[in-house]
């Protein structure tokens, strides 16, 4: 670089020696020392208001020297004019930050320009100053001198950087013509006037001062124009940057080029799943990294991002404090411009610009408005990039947990398996939160969301470092385990299940985190994301009945096929009466009257045999057909009730109601229509609701229970004691009775704690004005305990098993008698004979 800097200097020195030595012979006449002093002072003043043009590390200067040269060439000739200009430039350049090659180059060009002007003047015939031809000769001489200087500058730029473009010639040709015209005009006018009287200086000096001010203003306007054009070009560059990591580097490079800086660093805080980033660009391809921008305790960075300061900071060597000097030294910089960058998340990033490449122009003397405009565009570009990142992030991440979603998981699986098709090993584990639905139904979505966050944290904490944890939907998660075989994936799934089996504080309660796992592995179970995920899902269904962890096996496909077929055959099963109901009697504890029968649904499938209700009821809820199943069961129950009414017997029927049904807007109308269709009063219908349904926020905040109760029917809370309802919640609901869950009733005869729970429930219900039904009564000891507690109704095998319609009729004939209608009651009642 040093050799390249001295090359144009050597050319200028040699050319000056060749031209100036013969052209600038020593003056033989007397010298007017006041004119020489005037040339020196004028030259010094002209050099103090220069026009700087930057090209990379080089800065070239133009000044209002033509006026000084006119005076010198007319009054003293070329030699002493060259001496005066050389002395003025030497003094001026010594106070500026010019390198030795640049200083020698400028001095040589200054002398050469005087020599060229002298040669041109000597080439014309002699003419007095009052002759207009002399004016033309001077103008041509100065234009030629300026042209030679401009050409040498262009050569120097070409040798040290690159050939100057159109912008250079636009910036130099205009001043190269306009300044000589102005200088010659003012100089000749002043010299002519001085021939008459010294008092002409009173007029000439203000004109010269005005010319200098005009030049300075022109230089400033020209610099601002170029700065605005650069900012405009920068804005266009920033608008076109890519939205990926390379786009950030494009911004940094554009900032460095705009400010002609040596180094530019951009530090961005972490955003979404991105780590903090430091992007550095340095001129000349030098080592890009340097200390400072990534250090949060660095002085310049702290000053720049301090919201109290409100903008960029400039730290330069001449005015640096002790701490600032240390900060500059760690960067090996003369001046540093630090500026805050506001990200899309409202956090502060940091932009740092070190050292202008120019050896003359500094950041302080540059246009600060251009810097502020540049920062505005940088802020906008960074925010735009991060907003695009947010859009992409939201598209493949779960909004609640921040984990990758199903789409992102599929992409990651395919990318992993396509690296070496057929050879890459990878395990895929699906995990289902078993109590997700129960928590949602009981405590609401806010509580289940909290439980999901806890579960996501547990899986991330205990999964291997290389694993990818994703959330699918509902309470289901996935864990991708690169490099694991099927046995290793099974072991990892069991470790995850054991590690996640804990209790978490959710909505003020300690809840178990219960997970079921399904395992699949590549390549043994598939080599695409679709196949692997489908088989992990099949294994997950089997995991519920195989100890919590199950691996895919082809036989499981038959079970999934069975589930699919059950869903498609549900409607036809009801039409063909494959789905039927059975009835289990409920008796009054004191009188043994049969007060009701609970209606339970059954499916006798021609291929699969008896399908458990839990299998197809849950399936009906998932496929949105639970409403049709409920209407079907309600019709069968009311039809049976109507037949008893036709026999003048009052026997109530109870039907279970799904949580999904309560969310259907036409439920009340359908129940009302069914009662009217069968001619059954509402008092002979009981709808049984699980405790989780009743305390659900959406149910309690709606009028659906009150609207059902207004039909005259009774509402019963089933399985009481297994949920999370409170006394205050029960008081707010139109519930008529509670059914003690059989898990408490079955152990009453042998467990004092279970008996205590049952007694507490009975007392609680009675205090609230509710009746109590105990289900699961199988022995006389339990019956007697419940009677002694004051339990109102009993249901269980001790009374009767659930019976189909024909067997129920036989049981009624064999075990019951008919009690006459009580005074005021319209119908007779059945009672169990002892």
pLDDT bin (cut points 50, 70, 90) of residue 88 is confident
Tell me the two tokens of residue 395: 């598209």
Of residues 58 and 736, more confidently modeled:
736
Report pLDDT digits (tens) over 19-30. 776 667 665 456
The SS3 assignment for 721 reads coil
- In this predicted structure, the answer to whether residue 73 has a pLDDT above a threshold of 90 is no
Of residues 253 and 98, more confidently modeled:
253
Paired residues of 59 in beta bridges: 54
Share of the chain above pLDDT 70, in %: 76
The phi, psi pair for 185, rounded to 5°, reads: -60, -50
- In this predicted structure, the answer to whether residue 316 has a pLDDT above a threshold of 70 is yes
- In this predicted structure, the answer to whether residue 99 has a pLDDT above a threshold of 70 is no
Spatial separation of the C-alpha atoms in residues 451 and 7, rounded to whole Å: 75
Paired residues of 336 in beta bridges: 315, 354
Name the residue among 24, 129, 136 with its Cα closest to residue 81.
24
- In this predicted structure, the answer to whether residue 668 has a pLDDT above a threshold of 50 is yes
Spatial separation of the C-alpha atoms in residues 65 and 193, rounded to whole Å: 21
Roughly what angle, to the nearest 10 degrees, separates helices 613-622 and 554-575?
80
Q: 135 near 184, Cβ under 8 Å? A: yes
Mean pLDDT is highest, among 124-133, 294-303, 360-369, for: 294-303
Q: 504 near 511, Cβ under 8 Å? A: yes
pLDDT bin (cut points 50, 70, 90) of residue 58 is very low
- In this predicted structure, the answer to whether residue 248 has a pLDDT above a threshold of 60 is yes
Average pLDDT over residues 225-240: 62
Non-local CB neighbours of 506 within 8 Å, separated by 6+ positions: 439, 443, 447, 450, 451, 454
**Whole-number pLDDT of residue 173:** 59
Paired residues of 714 in beta bridges: 686
- In this predicted structure, the answer to whether residue 6 has a pLDDT above a threshold of 70 is yes
Report pLDDT digits (tens) over 506-543. 877 777 788 899 999 998 888 888 889 988 888 887 77
**Whole-number pLDDT of residue 54:** 45
Of residues 210 and 520, more confidently modeled:
520
**Whole-number pLDDT of residue 60:** 45
Cα angle 413, 417, 421; round to 5:
160
Share of the chain above pLDDT 90, in %: 17
The SS3 assignment for 87 reads helix
Spatial separation of the C-alpha atoms in residues 180 and 139, rounded to whole Å: 6
CA 134 to chain centre: 74
Average pLDDT over residues 814-825: 77
pLDDT bin (cut points 50, 70, 90) of residue 692 is low
- In this predicted structure, the answer to whether residue 468 has a pLDDT above a threshold of 70 is yes
Spatial separation of the C-alpha atoms in residues 536 and 162, rounded to whole Å: 63
Looking up tokens 């926020």 gives 697
User: Which of 21-30, 147-156, 458-467, 817-826 is predicted least confidently?
Assistant: 21-30
**Whole-number pLDDT of residue 53:** 46
Tell me the whole-structure pTM to 2 decimals.
Answer: 0.48
Q: 691 near 720, Cβ under 8 Å? A: yes
Name the residue among 746, 739, 732 with its Cα closest to residue 699.
732
Cα dihedral angle (620, 623, 628, 631), rounded to 10 degrees?
50
Report pLDDT digits (tens) over 535-586. 888 888 777 766 788 888 776 655 556 666 777 788 888 888 988 999 999 9
From residue 147, give the alpha-carbon distance in Å to each of 58, 144, 205, 376, 504: 19, 5, 28, 40, 84
**Whole-number pLDDT of residue 596:** 92
**What number of residues does the chain have?**
834
Average pLDDT over residues 676-698: 80
Residue 2's H or E segment, with its range, is helix 2-23
- In this predicted structure, the answer to whether residue 505 has a pLDDT above a threshold of 60 is yes
Q: 520 near 532, Cβ under 8 Å? A: yes
Report pLDDT digits (tens) over 380-393. 777 877 777 777 78
Spatial separation of the C-alpha atoms in residues 543 and 295, rounded to whole Å: 51
- Rg of the chain taking only CA atoms, in angstroms: 48
Tell me the two tokens of residue 258: 């705009």
Neighbouring CB atoms inside 10 A of 561's CB total: 11
Q: Is 422 left (phi over 0), alpha (psi -120 to 50) or beta?
A: left
DSSP 596: E
User: Which of 119-133, 182-196, 603-617 is predicted least confidently?
Assistant: 182-196
**Whole-number pLDDT of residue 57:** 45
Of residues 744 and 126, more confidently modeled:
744
Spatial separation of the C-alpha atoms in residues 645 and 684, rounded to whole Å: 10
Neighbouring CB atoms inside 10 A of 15's CB total: 18
Spatial separation of the C-alpha atoms in residues 364 and 229, rounded to whole Å: 19
Spatial separation of the C-alpha atoms in residues 694 and 60, rounded to whole Å: 85
- In this predicted structure, the answer to whether residue 56 has a pLDDT above a threshold of 50 is no
Average pLDDT over residues 246-258: 79
**Whole-number pLDDT of residue 614:** 77
User: Which of 119-133, 211-225, 744-758 is predicted least confidently?
Assistant: 211-225
The phi, psi pair for 399, rounded to 5°, reads: -65, -35
Of residues 499 and 732, more confidently modeled:
499
Mean pLDDT is highest, among 122-136, 147-161, 648-662, for: 648-662
pLDDT bin (cut points 50, 70, 90) of residue 598 is very high
Q: 667 near 702, Cβ under 8 Å? A: no
Spatial separation of the C-alpha atoms in residues 383 and 241, rounded to whole Å: 13
Report pLDDT digits (tens) over 742-789. 888 888 877 787 888 888 889 888 988 899 999 989 888 999 999 999
The phi, psi pair for 107, rounded to 5°, reads: -65, -40
The phi, psi pair for 31, rounded to 5°, reads: -110, 135
User: Which of 90-99, 451-460, 601-610, 792-801 is predicted least confidently?
Assistant: 90-99
- In this predicted structure, the answer to whether residue 165 has a pLDDT above a threshold of 60 is yes
**Whole-number pLDDT of residue 636:** 94
- In this predicted structure, the answer to whether residue 160 has a pLDDT above a threshold of 90 is no
Output the furthest CA–CA distance in the chain (Å, rounded). 155
Spatial separation of the C-alpha atoms in residues 41 and 167, rounded to whole Å: 32
Residue 505's H or E segment, with its range, is strand 503-506
Roughly what angle, to the nearest 10 degrees, separates helices 66-75 and 132-160?
130
User: Which of 215-224, 683-692, 710-719, 778-787 is predicted least confidently?
Assistant: 215-224
For the four alpha carbons of 199, 200, 206 and 208, in that order, the dihedral sign comes to negative
Report pLDDT digits (tens) over 721-750. 665 455 556 677 888 998 888 888 888 877
b/e burial code for range 151-170 (CB count within 10 A of at least 16 → b): ebbbbbbebbeeebeeebee
- Pairing relationship of beta strands 579-588 and 793-795 according to DSSP bridges: antiparallel
**Whole-number pLDDT of residue 59:** 46
User: Which of 8-22, 372-386, 673-687, 716-730 is predicted least confidently?
Assistant: 716-730
pLDDT bin (cut points 50, 70, 90) of residue 643 is very high
3-state secondary structure 471-483: ECCCCEEEEEEEC
pLDDT bin (cut points 50, 70, 90) of residue 804 is very high
Report pLDDT digits (tens) over 389-443. 777 788 888 888 989 999 999 999 998 988 777 678 999 999 988 888 778 777 7
């Amino acid at each position: 670089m040093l050799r390249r800097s001295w090359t144009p200097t050597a050319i200028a020195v040699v050319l000056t020696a060749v031209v100036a030595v013969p052209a600038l012979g020593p003056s033989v006449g007397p010298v007017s020392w006041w004119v020489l002093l005037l040339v020196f002072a004028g030259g010094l003043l002209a050099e103090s208001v220069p026009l700087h043009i930057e090209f990379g590390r080089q800065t070239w200067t133009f000044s209002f020297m033509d006026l000084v040269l006119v005076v010198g060439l007319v009054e003293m000739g070329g030699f002493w004019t060259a001496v005066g200009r050389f002395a003025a430039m030497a003094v001026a350049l010594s106070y500026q930050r010019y390198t030795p090659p640049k200083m020698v180059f400028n001095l040589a060009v200054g002398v050469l320009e005087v020599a060229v002007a002298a040669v041109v003047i000597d080439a014309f015939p002699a003419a007095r100053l009052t002759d207009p031809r002399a004016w033309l000769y001077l103008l041509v001489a100065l234009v030629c001198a300026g042209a030679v200087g401009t050409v040498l500058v262009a050569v120097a730029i070409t040798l040290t950087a690159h050939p100057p473009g159109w912008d250079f010639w636009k910036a130099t040709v205009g001043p190269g013509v306009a300044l000589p015209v102005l200088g010659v005009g003012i100089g000749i006018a002043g010299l002519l006037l001085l021939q008459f009287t010294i008092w002409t200086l009173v007029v000439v000096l203000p004109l010269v001062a005005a010319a200098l001010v005009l030049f300075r203003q022109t230089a400033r306007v020209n610099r601002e124009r170029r700065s605005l054009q650069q900012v405009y070009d920068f804005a266009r560059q920033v608008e076109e940057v890519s939205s990926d990591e390379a786009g950030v580097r494009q911004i940094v490079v554009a900032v460095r080029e705009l400010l002609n800086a040596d180094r530019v660093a951009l530090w961005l805080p972490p955003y979404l799943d991105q780590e903090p980033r430091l992007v550095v660009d340095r001129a000349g391809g030098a080592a890009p990294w340097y200390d400072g921008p990534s250090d949060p305790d660095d002085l310049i960075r702290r000053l720049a991002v301090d919201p109290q300061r409100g903008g960029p900071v400039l730290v330069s060597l001449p005015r640096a404090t002790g701490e600032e000097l240390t900060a500059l030294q760690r960067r090996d910089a003369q001046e540093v411009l630090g500026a805050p960058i506001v990200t899309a998340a409202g956090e502060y990033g940091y932009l740092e610009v070190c050292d202008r490449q120019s050896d003359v122009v500094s950041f302080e003397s540059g246009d600060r408005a251009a810097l502020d405009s540049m920062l505005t565009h940088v802020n906008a570009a960074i925010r735009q990039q991060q907003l695009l990142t947010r859009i992409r992030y939201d598209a493949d991440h779960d909004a609640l947990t921040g984990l990758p979603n199903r789409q992102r998981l599929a992409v990651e699986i395919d990318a992993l398996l396509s690296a070496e098709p057929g050879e890459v090993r990878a395990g895929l584990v699906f995990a289902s939160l078993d109590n997700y639905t129960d928590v949602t139904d009981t405590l609401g979505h806010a509580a289940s969301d909290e439980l999901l966050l806890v579960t996501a944290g547990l899986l991330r904490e205990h999964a291997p470092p290389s694993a990818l944890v994703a959330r699918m939907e509902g309470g289901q998660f996935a864990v991708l385990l690169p490099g694991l075989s099927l046995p290793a994936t099974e072991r990892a799934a069991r470790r995850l299940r054991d590690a996640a089996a804990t209790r978490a504080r959710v909505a003020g309660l300690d809840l178990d985190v219960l997970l079921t796992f399904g395992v699949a592995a590549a390549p043994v179970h598939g080599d695409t994301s679709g196949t692997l995920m489908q088989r992990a899902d099949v294994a997950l269904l089997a995991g519920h009945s195989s100890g919590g962890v199950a691996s895919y096996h082809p036989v499981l496909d038959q079970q999934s096929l069975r589930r699919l077929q059950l869903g498609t055959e549900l409607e036809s099963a009801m039409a063909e009466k494959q789905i039927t109901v059975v009835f289990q009697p409920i008796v009054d504890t004191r009188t043994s009257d049969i007060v009701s029968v609970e209606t339970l649904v059954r499916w006798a499938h021609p291929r699969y045999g008896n399908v458990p209700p839990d299998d197809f009821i849950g399936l009906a809820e998932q496929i949105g057909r639970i409403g049709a199943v409920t209407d079907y069961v309600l019709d069968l129950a009311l039809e049976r009730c109507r037949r008893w009414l036709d026999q003048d017997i009052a026997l109530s029927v109870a039907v279970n109601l799904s949580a999904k049904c309560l969310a259907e807007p036409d439920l009340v109308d359908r129940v009302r229509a069914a009662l009217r269709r069968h001619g059954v009063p509402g008092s002979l219908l009981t709808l049984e609701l699980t405790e989780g349904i009743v305390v659900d926020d959406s149910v309690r905040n709606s009028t659906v229970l009150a609207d059902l109760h207004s039909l005259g029917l009774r509402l019963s809370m089933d399985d009481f004691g297994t949920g999370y309802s409170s006394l205050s919640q029960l008081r707010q609901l139109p519930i008529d009775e509670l059914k003690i869950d059989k898990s408490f009733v079955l152990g009453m005869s042998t467990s004092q704690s279970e008996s205590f729970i049952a007694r507490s429930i009975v007392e609680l219900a009675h205090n609230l004005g509710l009746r109590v039904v105990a289900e699961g009564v199988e022995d006389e000891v339990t019956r007697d305990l419940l009677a002694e507690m004051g339990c109102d109704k009993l249901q269980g095998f001790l009374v009767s098993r659930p019976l189909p319609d024909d067997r129920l009729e036989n049981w009624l004939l064999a075990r019951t008698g008919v009690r006459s209608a009580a005074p005021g009651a319209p119908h007779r009642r059945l009672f169990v004979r002892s």
